[in-house]
């Protein structure tokens, strides 16, 4: 024995003489497959090491052409694997992990059954590592259907064979002992890497043949069949071909033949039959002659002689005690109890399954001996078997399917249960579980019940119009396919988009900043990472899903495209503005179709079609992967047709790398139903690792060829530069002047064309309507239009914003308010855009020329004291609410003081206010400026002072309280009256709050704020905020920026 030869394995790989050695194939696995050296009934798949990326691979039946196509799709594939089990004609693989594993196997099956390495009598191969190999056999065809639920058996260190998916229950070893080595039998839903394939982690060391056996796996040896018998189960529902044969059998039966088998193999029948198997089924003179022996080792089956051949040992015929499945090793045939009854009656062990009246006769006889009455006890299980199902029958079936679907998370299992229920109920129009599942799903999403009728005007008017969440970029309802190659940061960018929607952060579009038109919930369907990985990514992008942002950021892990109905229910419950699916590939792991099939796009198509119909309108962001060549995203072209937009994240071109910050990327819009095809966005990461993206499209786009500014761009440019709103006529004149001055030769633009351009930008939310002009001589007012950008990048950060950034994070924008009165919440992110009628409630906007950090949403309860010159307010305070919509979007009304704040004019310097009106005080020096961008103004600090609003003699003499527009004499800001603060309070602008002690602004002590006790003035809190007093704390700086209380 050489030093390298194992006493267990021997040295069968080589020979000392020149005797003939069977030829073994060489070359790569793909070369061997193409050369036809592999058995034709083997189902093969492409592999990367031991992994495959083929969806539904365990059920794949790929032709050579299809296999080569799949192999070429992914550059990671370097080898092939063979699917074991029923997929490859009953192929079973024994995996021996090393020398100690081989010793354990030899002890378990006996030396007489053990095949030495290199001397196998069947097909075998090795990875080349010491002692490792796989041996393959073919399970008898009669047993393959009975093993449909059998996957793997593991040989434990105790010597017992146990089912499992991995040897996780093995005895633990100490560090100084050799690594544990497995012995595993693999059948259904498993695969083995073929010779010619690279070993995992190596591109040049390949699996190689130990024994080719002329390209045929040998029949499974007796020890292996005996090992499998206890795991055999009778097939209750035959495959579709056998079912068809049963249905087409001539001869009348009281019950349809498939229904007979379904009833007979129900557990309630088998439980009565099991103890009587030898008395009722296995009755034969040969069994009386040989008697019955129990299998040694306690295995659950009996052994005896065979009725059809002379058995010397009296053990060739074996029966599973639990299932009744039988097998004769000598005859190589077997089956369930009904097949044995038929074989015994016909004296033909190779007879097919009994059908028609023959089957019914056997079952009726056995049923009577078990205490059943045939067919009476069978008929209740097939209520509609002998009639065409009605609409009511189908609806009842779908309702049962709905119950099964909700109670069964595993959708493959749910499909099988639905099909079994349909068969038991006599619905044979469904060939398999997939058909009934698809039919049931279409029924519940309305496809089967939708009326094909011409839409009425009322129905058409109820259709949700497309709106923009982020102006001129993100639409709702819509579906977006967001794709890139791996590792570029698709998930991070999607979460950055979620932050903008949830926090209301502005986005730079066409050279200006625009805030989202609305904020709302975001739903993340995450499959590509672990939950902890997603939480880390969310925090990195400024989203605290475990804390302050949990009210708007929602997550669901491991959603599957098969769970379409569950998603619709969830969308109706949460009503998110944005839904992120990460990713389409991982959400389709259990899909029955490959990504190149049309059906692969069904869920994407359904969600787009029912968006705003079956659930509130939202934007779906489907994250997907690029093809290997990087040309576009993977999968069927139907995916492109099913979405509104396609976005691709790409690296910078070489010539662009010097123009943008290092690490930047480009988000390019491909297909776009929002007319943004070809638009490019710069994606970059700031110092805090937050991703930002900005539109590279200039405000003034140029026409190709001439280089002249486009007409629609001129509309935007004119309104952005205008100091006040413009009418369509004024915009037309401005465009004509620019065109004539450019010398392009273009004539005056038509009024209708200008109106069309204006409408386009209004729909894109880049401009907005701004009230009406005074009536002209003909008595007709003209619509005014204004620029809708907020230009927050140029604003000075205030203490309020820094405070919010410290307390709530997220760059200072805070949270969308979910407390306070409904009108306040409605006004937070929407500036007024039309003149008020006498019955409308007006939010307290218009603190200053920009008003971006002014107080918002105080609602008067009548017309008294409302702004007299609304258009003036609109022109001077159009920025209000675009960034924060009040003091902040993160704090409710109580963020100003113990009550609602009064709003007044703001001088340029605080000293001017203190000098001119010494009895009044302001909320900190930084809150004041000529334009009032950063401040509130005068804020009362008690309920009494609130009630004194409007009664200060000095203010009444100046007419500020009665005439809000007079406030412009003090500063640049417009004044809004504030009434209806509570049922007992009518506060007017021009606060006369008094404070005998003027305090200097203090440094913000966040820890001190959070440690304060709840507010003691519960009555005031409840009266002015509508909040639970326990949810509020007083601030330690009651004179700073109106922060009298923090919720």
How far apart CA 12 and CA 22 sit, in angstroms, is 12
Does residue 591 lie within any of the structural domains? yes
Task: Indicate whether 760 and 621 sit together in one domain.
Answer: no
Measured in residues, the chain has a length of 1047
Q: Which residues contact 811 (CB under 8 A, 6 or more apart)?
A: 503, 505, 542, 690, 805
Q: Which domain holds residue 156?
A: 29-221
Q: CATH code at 780?
A: 1.10.10.10
Does residue 798 lie within any of the structural domains? no
How far apart CA 993 and CA 954 sit, in angstroms, is 12
pLDDT at 912: 45
Q: Which residue has the tokens 């930047």?
A: 664
How far apart CA 488 and CA 493 sit, in angstroms, is 9
**Pair of tokens at residue 416:** 């099988």
pLDDT at 596: 85
| CA dihedral sign of residues 639, 645, 649, 650 | positive
pLDDT at 237: 54
Task: Indicate whether 186 and 307 sit together in one domain.
Answer: no
How many C-beta atoms lie closer than 10 Å to residue 957's C-beta? 9
- 671, 695, 719 — which closes off a domain? 695
Does residue 459 lie within any of the structural domains? no
Q: CATH code at 298?
A: 3.90.580.10
Task: Indicate whether 717 and 652 sit together in one domain.
Answer: no
pLDDT at 248: 53
Determine if residue 745 is left, alpha or beta; phi over 0 gives left, psi from -120 to 50 gives alpha, anything else beta.
Answer: left
- 330, 349, 381 — which closes off a domain? 381
Query: Which of the residues in the chain have pLDDT under 70?
Result: 1-22, 165-178, 203, 236-252, 296-299, 379-387, 447-451, 464, 592, 743-746, 791-1047
pLDDT at 178: 64
Does residue 359 lie within any of the structural domains? yes
How far apart CA 557 and CA 564 sit, in angstroms, is 15
Helix (H) / strand (E) element for 895: namely none
Task: Indicate whether 371 and 420 sit together in one domain.
Answer: no
pLDDT at 826: 35
Does residue 891 lie within any of the structural domains? yes
Does residue 294 lie within any of the structural domains? yes
pLDDT at 282: 92
Q: Note whether 634 and 650 are within 8 A (CB).
A: no
Task: Indicate whether 688 and 558 sit together in one domain.
Answer: yes
Q: Give whole-number Cα distances, 223 to 114, 139, 187, 213, in Å.
A: 10, 12, 16, 20
Does residue 461 lie within any of the structural domains? no
Give the chain's largest Cα–Cα span. Answer: 125
Task: Indicate whether 99 and 43 sit together in one domain.
Answer: yes
Q: Give whole-number Cα distances, 608 to 452, 571, 619, in Å.
A: 19, 13, 9
How far apart CA 447 and CA 610 sit, in angstroms, is 10
Closest CA to 864 of 841, 845, 884: 841
Q: Where are the alpha helices (DSSP H) in 666-790?
A: 711-721, 728-742, 751-763
Q: CATH code at 509?
A: 3.40.50.300
| pTM of the full structure | 0.48
Query: How many structural domains are present in the chain?
Result: 6
Q: Note whether 880 and 851 are within 8 A (CB).
A: yes
Does residue 20 lie within any of the structural domains? no
Task: Indicate whether 933 and 1033 sit together in one domain.
Answer: yes
Task: Indicate whether 720 and 769 sit together in one domain.
Answer: yes
Task: Indicate whether 213 and 246 sit together in one domain.
Answer: no
**Pair of tokens at residue 725:** 């709103």
Task: Indicate whether 690 and 739 sit together in one domain.
Answer: no
How many C-beta atoms lie closer than 10 Å to residue 577's C-beta? 23
Task: Indicate whether 434 and 494 sit together in one domain.
Answer: no
Task: Indicate whether 53 and 74 sit together in one domain.
Answer: yes
Closest CA to 109 of 220, 231, 5: 220
pLDDT at 378: 77
């Amino acid at each position: 024995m050489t030093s390298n030869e194992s006493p267990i394995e021997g040295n069968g790989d080589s020979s000392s003489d020149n005797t003939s050695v069977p030829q073994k194939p060489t070359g790569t696995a793909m070369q061997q497959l193409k050369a036809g050296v592999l058995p034709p009934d083997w189902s093969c798949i492409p592999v990367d090491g031991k992994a495959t990326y083929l969806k539904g691979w365990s059920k794949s039946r790929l032709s050579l052409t299809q296999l080569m196509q799949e192999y070429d799709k992914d550059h990671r594939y370097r080898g092939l694997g063979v699917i074991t089990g029923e997929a490859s004609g009953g192929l079973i693989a024994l995996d021996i992990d090393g020398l100690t594993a081989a010793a354990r196997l030899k002890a378990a099956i006996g030396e007489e059954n053990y095949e030495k390495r290199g001397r196998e009598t069947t097909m075998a191969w090795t990875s080349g590592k010491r002692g490792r190999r796989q041996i393959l056999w073919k399970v008898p065809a009669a047993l393959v259907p009975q093993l449909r639920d059998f996957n793997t058996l593991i040989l434990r260190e105790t010597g017992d064979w146990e089912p499992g998916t991995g040897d996780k229950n093995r005895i633990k070893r100490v560090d100084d002992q050799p690594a544990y080595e497995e012995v595993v039998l693999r059948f259904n839903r498993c695969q083995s890497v073929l010779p010619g394939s690279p070993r995992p982690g190596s591109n040049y060391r390949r699996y190689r043949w130990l024994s080719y056996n002329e390209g045929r796996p040998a029949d499974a040896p007796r020890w292996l069949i005996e090992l499998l018998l206890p795991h055999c189960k009778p097939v209750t529902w035959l495959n579709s071909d056998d079912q068809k044969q049963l249905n087409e059998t001539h001869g009348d039966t009281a019950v349809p033949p498939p229904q007979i088998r379904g009833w007979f193999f129900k557990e309630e029948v088998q439980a009565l039959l099991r103890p009587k198997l030898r008395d009722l089924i296995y009755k034969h003179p040969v069994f009386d002659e040989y008697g019955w022996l129990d299998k040694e080792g306690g295995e659950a089956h009996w052994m005896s002689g065979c009725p059809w051949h002379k058995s010397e040992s009296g053990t060739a015929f074996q029966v599973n005690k639990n299932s009744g499945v039988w097998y004769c090793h000598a005859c190589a045939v077997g089956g369930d109890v009904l097949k044995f009854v038929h074989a015994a009656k016909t004296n033909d062990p190779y007879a097919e399954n009994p059908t028609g009246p023959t089957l019914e006769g056997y079952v009726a006889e056995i049923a009577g001996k078990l205490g059943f009455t045939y067919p009476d006890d069978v008929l209740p299980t097939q209520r509609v078997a002998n009639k065409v199902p009605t609409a009511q029958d189908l609806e009842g079936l779908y309702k049962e399917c709905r119950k099964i679907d909700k109670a069964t998370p595993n959708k493959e299992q749910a499909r099988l249960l639905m099909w079994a229920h349909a068969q038991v109920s006599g619905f044979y129009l469904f060939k398999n579980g997939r058909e009934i599942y698809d039919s049931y799903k279409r029924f519940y999403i309305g496809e089967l019940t939708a009326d094909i009728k011409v839409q009425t005007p009322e129905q058409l008017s109820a259709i949700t119009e497309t709106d923009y969440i982020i102006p001129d970029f993100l639409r709702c309802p819509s579906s977006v396919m967001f794709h890139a190659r791996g590792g570029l940061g698709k998930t991070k960018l999607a979460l950055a988009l979620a932050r903008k929607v949830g926090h209301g952060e502005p986005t730079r579009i066409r050279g200006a900043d625009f805030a989202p038109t609305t904020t709302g919930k975001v739903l993340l369907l995450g499959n590509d990472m672990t939950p902890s990985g997603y939480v880390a990514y969310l925090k990195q992008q400024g989203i605290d899903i475990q804390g302050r942002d949990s009210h708007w950021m929602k997550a669901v892990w491991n959603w599957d495209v098969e769970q379409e109905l569950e998603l619709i229910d969830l969308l109706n419950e949460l009503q998110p503005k944005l839904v992120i699916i990460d990713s389409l590939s991982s959400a389709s792991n259990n899909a029955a179709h490959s990504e190149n099939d049309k059906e692969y796009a069904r869920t994407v198509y359904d969600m787009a079609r029912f968006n705003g119909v079956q659930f509130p309108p939202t934007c779906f962001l489907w994250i997907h992967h690029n093809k290997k060549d990087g040309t576009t995203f993977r999968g069927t072209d139907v995916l492109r047709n099913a979405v509104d937009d396609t976005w691709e994240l790409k690296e910078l071109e070489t010539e662009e790398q010097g123009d943008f910050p290092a690490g930047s990327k480009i988000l390019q819009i491909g297909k776009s139903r929002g007319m943004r095809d070809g638009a490019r966005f710069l994606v970059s990461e700031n110092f805090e690792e937050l991703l930002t993206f900005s539109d590279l499209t200039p405000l003034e786009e140029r026409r190709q060829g001439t280089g002249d500014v486009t007409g629609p761009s001129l509309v935007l440019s004119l309104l952005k530069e205008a100091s006040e709103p413009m009418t369509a006529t004024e915009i037309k004149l401005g465009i004509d002047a620019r065109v004539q001055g450019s010398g392009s030769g273009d004539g005056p633009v038509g009024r209708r064309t200008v109106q069309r351009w204006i409408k386009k930008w209004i729909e894109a939310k880049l401009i907005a309507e701004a009230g009406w002009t005074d009536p002209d001589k003909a008595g007709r007012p003209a619509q005014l239009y204004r620029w809708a950008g907020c230009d927050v990048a140029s604003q000075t950060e205030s203490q309020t914003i820094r405070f919010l950034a410290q307390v709530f994070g997220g760059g200072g924008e805070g949270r969308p308010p979910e407390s306070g009165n409904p009108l306040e919440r409605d006004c937070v992110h929407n500036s007024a855009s039309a003149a008020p009628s006498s019955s409308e409630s007006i939010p307290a906007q218009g603190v200053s020329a920009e008003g971006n950090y002014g107080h918002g949403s105080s609602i008067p309860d009548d017309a008294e004291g409302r702004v007299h010159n609304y258009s003036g307010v609109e022109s001077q305070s159009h920025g209000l609410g675009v960034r924060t919509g009040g003091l902040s979007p993160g704090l409710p009304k109580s963020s100003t003081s113990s009550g609602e704040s009064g709003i007044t004019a703001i001088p340029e310097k605080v000293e001017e206010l203190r000098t001119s009106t010494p009895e009044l005080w302001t909320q900190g020096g930084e809150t004041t400026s000529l334009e009032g961008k950063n401040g509130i103004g005068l804020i009362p600090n008690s309920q009494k002072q609130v009630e004194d609003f409007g009664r200060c003699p000095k203010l009444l003499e100046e007419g500020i309280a009665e005439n809000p527009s007079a406030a412009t004499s003090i500063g640049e800001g417009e004044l809004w009256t504030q009434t209806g603060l509570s049922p007992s309070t009518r506060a007017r602008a021009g606060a006369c709050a008094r404070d005998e002690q003027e305090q200097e602004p203090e440094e913000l002590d966040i820890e001190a704020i959070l440690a304060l006790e709840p507010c003691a003035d519960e009555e005031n809190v409840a009266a002015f905020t509508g909040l639970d007093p326990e949810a509020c704390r007083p601030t330690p700086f009651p004179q700073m920026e109106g922060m009298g209380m923090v919720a």
